[in-house]
Amino acid sequence: MRLILIRHGETPSNVAGALDTAVPGAPLTPLGHRQAAAVAPVLTVERITAVHASPLVRTQLTAAPLAAARGLDVVVSDGLEEIAAGHLEMKTDDASVATYADTVAAWIAGDLSPTMPGGSDGHGFFDRYAAAVSAITADHADDATVVAFSHGAAIRTFAARHGGPADARLLNTGAVVLEGSPYRGWVVTRWSRDPLGGPHLIDAAAHDVTGDPDPV
């Protein structure tokens, strides 16, 4: 089975560098809509059996063009949402962004003990996200491809546990491909850092204070 995790399109919060993780979250920018529209043509060779999105508006808007092109519904699935910023929600200052990024980096490196201020530790995140992945892939055939639209920090952190690079970034509508099953486990087989539609869809302004793409 193939599981394709795709980060949502650009949002106003990405452009502002805000830690926007709560439901319903920001919508897409005009560029974000163009990024979303460009996903379906790239995945024409995939045998997609289901399209899922997190409970946040931006993932559902990003998923809609692909689902429409395949005649599928967007299934909103709890557990695919971003790593919650807790007390840092909607902060844009350097210290808050650094705290969020450092906590995520620790989890990616394997230390799950740090707790996001006002949020969970890494164990809580992995339990939640792994349960969501198992739920959305459990009833599909071995040769199926399931697509889930999720969030940058969440995808990178989950993928790192399954062979993904620890220091790789994921721009808006970048994608990670995993192969396996919820019973045998998953292995990362491809990492597409840039938007699936191509690097011309990158907005150089949508970066956080470290110069890296905003994680949420």
The catalytic residues are 8, 82
- Residue 188, both tokens: 């990362």
Residue type, 74: V
For 152-178, letters b (16+ CB in 10 Å) and e give bbbbbbbbbbbebeeeeebbbbbbbbb
Q: Using an 8 Å Cβ cutoff, are 163 and 22 in contact? A: no
Could you tell me the sign of the dihedral formed by the alpha carbons of 207, 208, 209, 211, in that order?
A: negative
Measured distance CA(62)–CA(152) in Å, rounded: 13
SS3 of residue 103 by DSSP: helix
Measured distance CA(193)–CA(126) in Å, rounded: 22
Measured distance CA(59)–CA(138) in Å, rounded: 21
Q: Using an 8 Å Cβ cutoff, are 14 and 214 in contact? A: yes
Measured distance CA(206)–CA(10) in Å, rounded: 8
Q: Using an 8 Å Cβ cutoff, are 51 and 23 in contact? A: no
